[in-house]
Structure formats: structure tokens, C-alpha cells
Amino acid sequence: MPGFELFGAEEKKEVNDVLETGIYMRYGFDGPRKGIWKAKELEQALTERFNVKYAQLTSSGTTALTTAMAALGIGAGDEVIMPTFTFVASFEAVLSVGATPILVDVDDTLTLAPDAVRAAITPKTKAVMPVHMCGSMADMDALLDICKDYNLLLLEDACQSTGATYKGKALGSIGHAGTFSFDFVKTITCAEGGAIITNIEDIYTKADAFSDHGHDHLGGADRGADGHPHFGYNFRISELHAAVGLAQIRKLDKFLAIQRNNKQILKEALGAIPEVTFRRLPDPEGDSATFLSFFLPSAEAAKAATAAIKAAGLPAFYWFDNNWHYFRKWNHFKEGATLHPFAAQLAKAMEVYKTKEFPASDALMSRCISFPISLAWTDEEVRGRAEKLIAAIKSAL
């Protein structure tokens, strides 16, 4: 799954280019950098790979989400509909711009349930944010229809699904804007980094400035001559991080091919167990195959199988008990445990989560196990793991 599994001479070459100039910041120092602009190169590579007009790098997937929301004009009083199953960064970004996260149920895609989205829309709803979890996609046609019907923004959190597609279009390129994470355990990594992609020039222009203290980058070689049309923050990526990502994105097709091959072997093996059912993929051909996610008949069986899989020396994610990825264990979110007070309006809106429950999501997530797909396995190693996985699941059933 993570690109770091196949680090090599390519990454070293790109990083050494930067080290030799001694210029690690992405802006300014035009002369000493001797024509080396890794962040610019990576942004161009992103636009070409994902067939979009604009890409803006940031320091993380979280800052990419925050920047995208700011550029979309999402803020105080606005509601953003998002799923109960995601990484905590998704709601952190919503809260960071002063907006209200409206959590709704997921379905067997492990992403937003379209009916739950429709039911959650209020006059305050500004955006719908599908999170393409574990390498695969939300039902984008249904979500696009909803956003069109209600004139809502569609912001794709594609941080876990770099390289996945939906009906031929890259995830992240379908809505008004999309975001990626390039942290250490993502399909391609910068070690730390993120990006926003969009086809809308105004969103890009605002994101470009917001992620660099509001600089409009129109001052040429003199950063002091830049204008500041609005506030921004230091969400910049460094040249060193961008250099790693530049080498990695050139390997993306190779990574996807390996993941898809390894996942197919595992899925075919598990398909022989009648009690196993698989996550529904709205577009199976577009799956980036970072995880094999499946369901067992009951929560008890899933919990027992997870323990057996781990006892066999294999990795397994039982999201229902995971502190980072599922609402059930987000105690700090439920209690509004922040180091600085929320605005009164937001604090009041967050009160609902102290008692809110999501039985439909619980019914799915309590039966779900995700098995990560490694880039480093040989076919023989994949088949060996498949045998262990089958044995562990059968022992639990």
C-alpha cells in the first residue's frame, strides 16, 4: 500500500537535486536554486496525471482540505455533510474553518450513503464531502445529482485513494475540488504533503494564496512585492518533500498494477468462504486496491477473526474499535475537547454529538475487516498470506 515500500534511486536523485542547490523552500531564491523547482514540477505532474487544469501542493492532506474549504468559501454557519467512517483529519478541517461537520451514515461502499446525505440537508448545508476510503470510491453519480438538485458544493476527500478512478475520471477531479494526502503511509508519499486539484481557476488562485500567508505570487522574484488579497496560513510544502513526491508519482501506475494484482489473488481466495461478503465498489475497474475490505455475518465473528488474523502474524484493521477512523471512538469529537473555545454557534451545533448514534453505520462497521495490500510482496508471498488469512477466518467462524 504505501509508496515508501518501494523507495529507490529515483527518490534519492530528486532529493539530491535539491540538496545540491541548498534551497529547500518552494518560493523565492530564484538565482541560487539554479532552475530547480520540484514543487512546480510535481504540481504540473499532478495536473497531467489526473487530467485537471490546476494543482496546489500543501504541507499535508489536512492542510489541503482546510485550504480547499477556504477557497470554496466554506466557513462559520455552513454545514458540511461527511461520513461517519473517515480519518479524523476530515472533521478537523471542517472545524478549522469554523464550519459545522454533519456526520451521516455510510453504506456497504464504506462511503457516504446517498439517502442519508439527502436526509441531512438543511438550509445551512454548503457542501457535501465524500471521503473515498481505503482506496475506493463513493457513489459519485448519486452525490453529483444531490449536489445539483440542492446547489451544493462537492469537495472530494481523496486522501486515501490516490490513483483511483470513477468511470474513467480520477477521484478528486469530479467535484468542485479534490484533495490528496502524501503522508508516509499513502499510495504515493512525499513523507509529508498534500494537494488540491480543481478545474476552476478561482478556487486554484485562492488556494495558491491561502496556503502561503495570502501571497498572490504576482511580485516576480521579489516576495516582498507580492500582494495579499486575503488572509492565509503557512501550509507550504518544502522542495525536499516535493522532490520525493515527484519521483513517486512517476511510479504510480506501477504501484497500482502491483496492488490490483495482489488484491485480486487475495479476493479470489477469500471468495471460497461462503460467510465472507465484500465491500461494494461503485466502479470496480477504478479501485486503487490499497485494501481488501470484507464483511462477516456478525460483529462477534468479525472481532474473533481480527484476533485470529493478527495471531497469525498478519495485519488487519477492525475499524469499529479504531480510535482514529470511526465515529464510535471519537470521544474528543463527541465532547468538543478543544484547546481553544469554539464559536458559540458552532459549540451549540456540536452538542448533538454527545448523544447521537449511528446504528446503520454500526451494523456495517462492526462486521467489517480491512486487510492492507503491500507493494513489496511477491506472488508467492501473497498466496502464502491468503492461505493464512483463510485459515484464520475459518477458525473464527
In angstroms, the Cα distances linking 24 to 28, 33, 239 are 10, 9, 5
In angstroms, the Cα distances linking 102 to 3, 78, 192, 300, 366 are 32, 10, 28, 29, 21
DSSP state of 275: T
Q: Which of 38, 186, 206, 263 is catalytic?
A: 186
Residue 186 annotated among the catalytic residues of the structure: yes
Residue 32 · residue 21 · CB < 8 Å: yes
- Give 359: exposed, middle or buried? Use CB within 10 Å, 0-12, 13-18, 19+: exposed
Q: How far apart are CA 397 and CA 392, in angstroms?
A: 9
Q: How far apart are CA 65 and CA 180, in angstroms?
A: 8
Q: How far apart are CA 285 and CA 16, in angstroms?
A: 37
Sheet holding 291-295, edge to edge: 277-278, 291-295, 368-372
Q: How far apart are CA 324 and CA 86, in angstroms?
A: 8
Classified as helix, coil or strand, 294 is strand
Residues taking part in catalysis: 186
